[in-house]
Amino acid sequence: DTEVTQTPKHLVMGMTNKKSLKCEQHMGHRAMYWYKQKAKKPPELMFVYSYEKLSINESVPSRFSPECPNSSLLNLHLHALQPEDSALYLCASSHTGDGYTFGSGTRLTVV
């Protein structure tokens, strides 16, 4: 299995909603990542988990809350988002120092 699976593919949520994005990989990678990408911009790092521990938080607002339940799963909990948070959210995984394998992303729209 050489894939990173993200669900859902599309999500529309209101500003008062709570939702979660899910990511799963079975490649034995011990590093997992959340990125945010706006149109015509490069991916922007949000969080890094290494061996199931949060190692990097790029000063992301607390309305985004990551969770790594085990070495294969990564969640991003969303609460009280703003319309400007609408973007493509990408999960990735890798062996440390290697290139990342990205999932297909969740296209999030906040209304």
Partner 1 sequence: QKEVEQNSGPLSVPEGAIASLNCTYSDRGSQSFFWYRQYSGKSPELIMSIYSNGDKEDGRFTAQLNKASQYVSLLIRDSQPSDSATYLCAVYSSASKIIFGSGTRLSIRP
Stretch touching partner 1 by CB under 8 A, among 22-30, 63-71, 72-80, 93-101: 93-101
User: Is residue 88 a contact residue for partner 1 (CB under 8 A)?
Assistant: yes
- Concatenating the DSSP letter of every residue in 26-89 gives -S---EEEEEEE-TTS--EEEEEEETTEEEEE-S--TTEEEEEEETTEEEEEEES--GGG-EEE
Choose which of 36, 103, 108, 110 interacts with partner 1 (CB under 8 A). Answer: 103
Site string for partner 1, 19-58 (x = CB under 8 A): ----------------------xxx-x--x------xx--
Distance (Å, rounded) from C-alpha 4 to C-alpha 41? 22
Choose which of 21, 68, 78, 90 interacts with partner 1 (CB under 8 A). Answer: 90
Distance (Å, rounded) from C-alpha 3 to C-alpha 110? 27
**Site of interaction with partner 1 (CB under 8 A):** 41-43, 45, 48, 55-56, 88, 90, 96-105
